[in-house]
Each structure stands twice: as structure tokens, then as C-alpha cells.
Amino acid sequence: MDNYFTNTKNNYMTPHSVIEDPKFGDLPLSAKYLYCILCKIANRNSDIDGWFYHSITQLAEKAKISKKTVICAKKALKKADFIDVKRGYMQHTRKRSYDYFRLNGFKFRGEK
């Protein structure tokens, strides 16, 4: 049997500092689940500053929850300051496009 610890390309981190935060424990389960989905997406798609984009529809499909639930969970995470959200607009038409997300809470050993 192969050692499953050697292949990490399909793993992603969810920060202990967020999961152990009492504010996180008070969030609805849908917000906690969405945060984990956002961690997965960030692992694959974030830029050097940690920003990545996704639509509400894409998040609902990936999380297998309704758009309304995604919107409520996103608001709860933003209000608790676990994510930053910027609105995206199409360059030429200025119509609303995707939201840009950045996760807060990633602290590594030695950081204060």
C-alpha cells in the first residue's frame, strides 16, 4: 500500500486560527461549510495576494447548496471578518460579474 501522505496535490488547508475562533463556532453550519469550500477554491485559484473570483451560482454548484444559502453564508462570513469580498465588474459594460474573495485567518507557526 502506498503512503497516502506523499501525494498532497489534492489537499488544502483550513486554518486552525479560524476553526478554533469562538466567533466561527457561533456561525451557521452553512457558513462554516462555505468557508471550507472557499479554502478549497483558494488553494487552486488564488493570486499572489490571496484573491480569487467565483459567482454565487458557481459557489452554489460546488457546495451543492442553494444560491440563497450561499448569499446568507457569505454575509455571515464577511460580517464576522473571516473573508474579504469585492464586487467584480465587466470591463467594457460595467455590469456586475463575479465576486472576488480573500480568506482571512491564515497564520503560520511563528506568526503573532
What domains are there in the chain, each with its CATH number? 16-103 (1.10.10.10)
Mean pLDDT of 35-62: 90
The pLDDT-based confidence of 110 (bands split at 50, 70, 90) is very low
* Mean pLDDT, range 61-74, rounded to an integer: 96
Question: Do residues 50 and 42 touch, judged by C-beta distance below 8 A?
Answer: yes
Among residues 45, 33, 20, which one has the least CA distance to residue 72? 33
Question: What is the mean pLDDT of the segment spanning 25-47?
Answer: 92
Residue 43 has pLDDT above 60, yes or no: yes
User: Mean pLDDT over residues 83-104, rounded?
Assistant: 77
Cα separation, 52 vs 59, in Å, equals 12
